[in-house]
Amino acid sequence: MTQKKSIVTALLLASSLLLFTACEDKPAPAGGTAGSTPEAQSSSTPGAASGTAATGTNGSTDGSNGSTGAATSNTPAGDKSAASGSGTGSDKGKTGADSAKGGAEQVVANPESVTVLVNKQYSLPSSYEPKDLVYPNVPFTFKEQIEKRKMRKEAAQALEKLFAGAKKDGIFLAGVSAYRSHATQTSVYNNYVKKDGEEKARTYSAVPGHSEHETGLAIDVSGSDGKCAAEDCFGSTKEASWLAKHASEYGFIIRYLKGKESITGYQYEPWHIRYVGTEIAKEITAKGITLEEYLNAVPVSK
């Protein structure tokens, strides 16, 4: 019996040795090495590579899939940002201003605010349209009851008072261009680009979505004769002089001041007035500053 057990044991040992040798001679799996662990092999699998690629796409800065690129960012500036126009007094715009200084374009959080900041960095939502547009009862350089006669109700009422005040002082004003829809601003801007090229056009005309005219709070004005309307020569007229001295009494500011081009991003426009409310308008005018400076949101990109 002992001898039979020894024979069986020997046979089992021999079989095990043959099996072990056969396993050692098998070729390594494709993409790995003999004896490599699953963890080591996974680093070279297609799944791992595609995961890396996905991270790169979603976190890209070229505007695709959640881009954080400066030129395409739509991140609102915050409830008290300069863009939103919310908050009160000198605290307006303090939150979110630093991100604006970085040059990133942002969509305003509160387009309905009368102090909303719209410039080359801050844009209105593409679908925005003021809900309270009316026709101010003032003369224009044209007779038609069309879009560019309209302003938001509060601004329109203030404009009527401004025109009446000017008339008492012997100054007769006329409206040139007030509200513009997004579609209209697109057409205006494209026409200027065709005329002067994009680089020059951007010094005096806003990219669609970035025009104050789209807020319904801004208007270009001239003398009642329409001479020098929206032209540099308007700056030397008695109408321009009166506006510079008295517009703030009615809640308006000269939006694009001479010598402030690097801040506003636009050339001097003595004919472009913007409604912000009487208190703020008087403070901005007294200090000789821009809306950007008042809201602590400077500089803008040129």
Cβ neighbourhood burial of 234 (10 Å; 0-12, 13-18, 19+): buried
Paired tokens of 214: 């789209």
Q: What distance in Å separates the CA atoms of residue 85 and residue 102, rounded to the nearest whole number?
A: 19
Q: Name the pairing type of β-strands 122-123 and 106-107.
A: parallel
Q: What distance in Å separates the CA atoms of residue 141 and residue 220, rounded to the nearest whole number?
A: 11
Amino acid at 183: A
Write the DSSP string, 43-76. TTSHHHHHHHHHHHHHT-SSSSSS---TTT----
Write the DSSP string, 196-225. H-HHHHTTTSPPTT--GGGGT-EEEEEETT
Kindly list the catalytic residues.
Answer: 269
Give, in order, the Cα–Cα distances in Å from 200 to each of 4, 103, 123, 132, 265: 105, 20, 20, 34, 12
CB distance 269 to 256 below 8 Å: yes
